[in-house]
Chain A
Amino acid sequence: AQSVAQPEDQVNVAEGNPLTVKCTYSVSGNPYLFWYVQYPNRGLQFLLKYITGDNLVKGSYGFEAEFNKSQTSFHLKKPSALVSDSALYFCAVRDIRDNFNKFYFGSGTKLNVKP
């Protein structure tokens, strides 16, 4: 069974500090991994993805994520948080062997960046 876990419901960080939002996954084969951000009353927006290649993936708005196969993790990071980064973040996974394009989302992590 495929699944995604985001162990933290909420992450609080001060502006200018580094941030990490955690994600672990479970798939039968190799994964496609994604991060999305959701601002209030909006749909999800794509941030970055890992398909293959370099384990460190860079995305929009200065975010990056590191794929760690041994720990089955794909944590989202940013060196210096901004107040405007405050939002709901979702990790998603798809098994590359899945012919049905089905994605599985985590329950979301609310990021609060305080001035």
Chain B
Amino acid sequence: IAGITQAPTSQILAAGRRMTLRCTQDMRHNAMYWYRQDLGLGLRLIHYSNTAGTTGKGEVPDGYSVSRANTDDFPLTLASAVPSQTSVYFCASSLRGGHEQFFGPGTRLTVL
């Protein structure tokens, strides 16, 4: 692994189903983030984690949950998917402080 990986690359999901998007980084970054990207809205922060064992809510957390059991992994779970969660999801990581973020390749999720 080099950098950040996300899985799956894309997914079509029926409304009401549970889905977990996976994110793994090997850079030993303390902070990790989940964003959704929607046309005309840019990137909106869903949840973040400053360090393993801690998480926080971003701009649009409703309908999503995260966990940070270790430094490397930061999964995002949709407990009961709805069509408005159709989006491209990006995971990112950074060192603490004023450091730039490194982004994964994204997961394209379609909820029908």
Contact = CB atoms under 8 A, between A and B. Distances in A.
Interface string A91-109: 0101010011111111110
Contacts of A108: 42
Contact of A100 (B35, B42, B48, B106): B48
Given A42-B106, A100-B50, 10 more contacts: A9-B40, A41-B106, A42-B105, A43-B105, A43-B106, A46-B100, A100-B48, A101-B50, A101-B94, A102-B45
Contacts of A102: 45, 48, 56, 58
Interface of B: 4, 31, 33, 35, 40-45, 48, 50, 56, 58, 90, 92, 94, 96-98, 100-106
B103 A45 contact: yes
User: Interface residues of B: mostly helix, strand, loop or mixed?
Assistant: strand
B98 A51 contact: yes
A89 to B, nearest CB: 11
Interface of A: 6, 9, 32, 34, 36, 41-46, 49, 51, 90, 92, 94, 96, 99-108
Q: Is the interface of A mostly helix, strand, loop or mixed?
A: loop
Contacts of B45: 102-104
A94 B58 CA distance: 13
A38 B62 CA distance: 26
A101 B48 contact: yes
B104 A101 contact: no
Given A34-B100, A90-B42, A104-B45, A43 B94 contact: no
B48 A44 contact: no
Contact of B101 (A96, A99, A103, A106): A103
A106 B42 contact: yes
